[in-house]
Structure 1
Amino acid sequence: MTDPFTVAIVLIAFLAFGGLSMGLAMICGSSVYLMMKGFDPSIASETLLQGLFNSYTLLAIPLFILAADIMNIGSLADRLLRFSQALVGRFKGGLGHVNVVSSLIFSGMSGSAVADAVGMGKIIINMMTKDGKYTPSYAAAITAASATIGPIIPPSIPMVLYALVSDQSVGYLFAAGMAPGLLMGVVLMIMNMVIAHRRGFETDEKIPLRDMPMVTFRAFPALMLPVILLGGIYGGVMTPTEAAAVAAFYALAISVIFYRSVTAGQFYQTLLASARSTATVGILIAGALTFQYVVTRENVPDALAAFLGQYELSKVTFLLAINILFLVLGCILESGAILLIIVPIFIPTAQALGVDLVHFGVICVVNAMLGLVTPPYGLLLFIVSSITKQPIGRVIRDLWPFLLALIVALLIITYVPDFVLWLPRLLGYKG
């Protein structure tokens, strides 16, 4: 007799590779499993609804998406970019540094790599290629690489997803992402500097230091958003979900009142776009919750832990295997699917080996983000290729040095847990 779990896995893979969204594929596969097992198929709907409506944390996701979309239509991105240019644009490979620094700043507001690439990325790519100082493929490559920082530095939608499956504090996960995100920015800037000297990139236009106060003043309201968010969360004033609501309201308020850059029509279109993005993420979460019920029924996590226990894996070997596996999976699966489907299977093994789950969460999220730029499938590669009209092969060629730099950062994040956990511990984390 055919094994129901095997049938479910094959069906999910067939539907997903056939073009159906991963969320709907998982719902279909899980429903078939339940019917073959003789269970009431309505269990799938009940599991789905309980998972979606019993998690207050999930409300943060649509609100962060809305905040990012509002920032993209307002002039916040332009002003933040000008501030970044004044800060680091005077150095060799200046606009490459501006690209990275603007991602660091913008990521402290949106929590989305795609929002970073589509919003801020589109602007900086045009700046880099306008005078022919940088090739379009190089501009696309560094934009894709720097956009991966977005969901590492708080706020972070993937961190919220990991908190959902691991039952860890969103606040401590946000804090744990701060140092790794800055490290990723540093290694990208070092690589950009090396390439700029090697290729002989010209020095970009310098903004006079006397203009710095005015540039900072114009960007100040936008720069205050991450301060308000993180100060509110770690000061105990608001939860991450409430902070997401504040982020959306603040982004709208300063865009409409202070910068006067958003019309009613633009805001309406932004609400529609945010609703579509939220629905896409919601379907993925719903499918993952349903499939998790199937995985739990089959006792897959415990079986995997027992299987790995036969080989007496050390913590070092386990984490290396996780990094390799997730980087490979990043070639074929989207980051949300990795965090919601694959990660929960390995959490019991990580706990058994003494891996701190907040540290493990950062490792998983960084891997999932690197998957966005891992050839040949990485979603960010297709986005920046579309923006620059460059063949994806040419973008990948210029991406490799940045990807290698990010992998070096990943190894540091993986094997130096104190580097990741010092800030959460400073804020009260006991792990």
Structure 2
Amino acid sequence: MSFAALLMFVLFFAWMLVGMPIGHAMLAAGIVYLLVTGQDLGLAASQSLNGIYSSFVLMSVPLFIFAAELMNAGKMTDRMFGFANLLVGRLRGGLAHVNVVSNVIFAGMSGSALADAAGPGKISIDMMIKAGYKPSFAAALTACASILGPIIPPSIPMVIYGVISGTSIGYLFLGGVMPGLLIATVLMGYIALVARRKNFPTQPMPSRKEAVAIIGDAAPTLTLPAILLGGIYSGAVTPTEAAAVAAFCALVLALFWYRSLSLKALFRILVESSRSTAIVAITIAGALVMNWVVASERIPAALGTWMVSMDLSQSSFMLFVTVLFLILGALVDTMLMLLIVIPILMPTVGALGIDPVHFGVVSVVNMMIGLITPPMGQLVFLISGITGIKVADILSEVWWMLALLIATLFVLVLVPSITLWLPIQAGYQPVGSFH
């Protein structure tokens, strides 16, 4: 690595630590590299803009953001919560189970952990507290359940990973289904154990008439995942087109079917979605500049050669990366790991014959666990901000659930068939054999 590249990384981390937005820090550090090496500053603009505009798949990101905002503001999350309550509310600790199930359902539409926490998560916490659950437990469970958003398809991080690695988005989405359901099962198993010990309440069973009304009210919303995923896997639409269909259907339902969205609220959603999209776009633009520097310095190739020379097995490399990501997830932003670390590791992944779908899904699961791992823990801080529950209180309840999630992650790392089973059923040919 040259002095200019080392200076770039030092400045990037220094600016990030003092509070500069990550995207701006990456762009500024990349420009410093160009200045020091005497290269044309226009490279920063060409690398970032060409990278964004040349990727049709990246257009799905703002559409998924817009769809999630519509579903939250259009009260569709309330209807999903009611349907989840109908399914599992009568179990001991029913509302805690509802929390997980509602996140599974919403995950099939949003692709964002933060959207899950702000939508069904907020509703679940309020309902659980009213029913007598400890606020810190309700908040901790919501933080852990919200990570299902980017694991169960669709998934914004998987879209970005697919663009970076050249991996099929459709197979990545399929690969996330079984891990997401496994995580949901583990969380519900933990709830079942805690519910007996703490004698959590159950929800009253609705009458047949009430059940029919709940299903009828939620049915239009519940068709969205089927339309979205069915369109992708049938080949009728691309992931980007599916995101546009999801946003359009959510808009029609909110405005005309449920009539729960005013024009004023729609304008606010457009503004918020544009703001969120701009943050993502600037971050991607900065990462593209830094990735160009990394590639020009041949850092990934050197790392790959070094890793191969160490004669690491696939399992050893995967375990090393898993531990590395767990540490980084507690310290740095998820988007930074996705946009900077993944491109550096991909040549080694290819050289060792590791399946890119398995690696991508496991990496996304790992990054989502980082969203609840202190000291960063973005989901914990978000939930604390929208509920007023202290961060320290949430963390006091999150440790056991976090330990179970990490244990599940290692199972996914060592048993790739869990991730690859559905893609294989859809015709995917795995790369190499795991050993």
Q: Which amino acid aligns with 1:252?
A: L
Distance (whole Å) between structure 2 residues aligned to residue 430 and residue 12 of structure 1: 39
Q: CA deviation at 1:166?
A: 0.2
Match of residue 433 from structure 2: none
- In 1, Cα distance between equivalents of 2:166 and 2:326: 24
AA aligned opposite 2:68:
A
Is 1:141 the counterpart of 2:147? The answer is no
Q: Following the alignment from structure 2 to structure 1, what is the Cα–Cα distance between the partners of residues 324 and 393?
A: 26
Amino acid at match of 2:91: F
CA distance in structure 1 between the aligned counterparts of 2:324 and 2:291, rounded to whole angstroms: 20
Q: In the alignment, is the contact (CA less than 8 A) between 1:161 and 1:336 conserved in 2?
A: no
**2-side partners of 1:216 and 1:404: how far apart?**
35
Instruction: Answer yes or no: is 1:78 the counterpart of 2:78.
Output: yes
For 1:169 and 1:352, the matched residues in 2 are separated by 19
Match of 2:34 in 1: 34
Structure 1 window deviating more from structure 2 (305-314 vs 391-400): it is 305-314
CA distance in 1, matches of 2:355, 2:249: 34
**What secondary structure is seen at the aligned counterpart in 2 of 1:206?**
coil
* 1:65-94 residue CA offsets vs partner (Å, 9 max, x unmatched): 000000011121111000000100110111
The match for 1:91 is 91
For the pair 1:396 / 2:388, whether they are aligned, the reply is no
Q: 1:332 is matched with which residue?
A: 331
CA RMSD, Structure 1 to Structure 2 (Å): 1.3
Q: Is the 8 A contact 2:308 2:351 kept in 1?
A: no
**d(CA) in 2 for partners of 1:307 and 1:208?**
65
Alignment of 1:297-336 (within 5 A): 297-336=296-335
Offset at residue 210 of structure 1 (A)? 5.2
| Structure-2 residue corresponding to 1:368 | 367
Q: Partner of 1:66 in structure 2?
A: 66
Report the Cα offset of residue 63 of structure 1: 0.2
Which residue is 1:414 aligned to?
A: 413
* Partner secondary structure for residue 177 of structure 1: helix
TM-score, with length taken from structure 1: 0.98
Structure-1 separation of matches of 2:218 and 2:292: 47
Partner of 1:343: 342
2:149 aligned partner: 150
Question: Aligned residue for 1:266?
Answer: 265
Query: 2:116 and 2:413 mapped to 1: Cα distance?
Result: 25
**Which amino acid is the alignment partner of residue 325 of structure 2?**
F
The amino acid across from 2:173 in the alignment is: F
| Corresponding letter in the other structure for 2:15 | L
Task: Quote the Cα distance in structure 2 between the aligned partners of 1:345 and 1:243.
Answer: 30
> Is the contact made by 1:136 and 1:388 (CA closer than 8 Å) also made in structure 2?
no
Residue in structure 2 matched with residue 175 of structure 1 by the alignment: 174
> Are the aligned partners of 1:85 and 1:207 in contact in 2 as well (CA < 8 Å)?
no
Q: Which moved more, 1:331-340 or 1:92-101?
A: 331-340
Match of 1:284 in 2: 283
1:13 aligns with 2:8: no
Structure 1: unaligned runs, 5 residues or longer: none
For structure 2, the 5+ residue unaligned runs are 431-435
The amino acid of 1:422's aligned partner reads W
- For 2:188 and 2:165, locate their aligned partners in 1 and report how far apart those are by CA, in whole Å: 33
Number of corresponding residues: 430
**Superposed, which structure 2 residues align to 1:124-135 within 5 Å?**
124-131=124-131, 133-135=132-134
Query: Hey, what does 1:200 align to over in structure 2?
Result: 199
User: 2: distance between equivalents of 1:212 and 1:401?
Assistant: 35
Q: Once superposed, which parts of structure 1, at least 4 consecutive aligned residues long, lie more than 4 Å away?
A: none
8 Å Cα contact 2:308/2:352 also seen in 1: no
CA positional deviation for 1:379: 0.3
In the TM superposition, residue 332 of structure 1 has moved relative to its aligned partner by 1.7
Contact 1:67 1:248 in 2 (8 A): yes
Query: Could you state the TM-score of these two structures normalised by the residue count of structure 2?
Result: 0.97
Partner of 1:223: 222
Structure 2 CA distance for aligned equivalents of residues 204 and 408 of structure 1? 31
Once the two structures are aligned, what percentage of the paired residues are identical?
46
Distance 2:89 2:201 in 1: 12
Q: 1:170 and 1:134 mapped to 2: Cα distance?
A: 39
User: CA offset at residue 330 of structure 1?
Assistant: 0.7
- Report the alpha carbon displacement of residue 206 of structure 1 after superposing the two structures with TM: 3.2
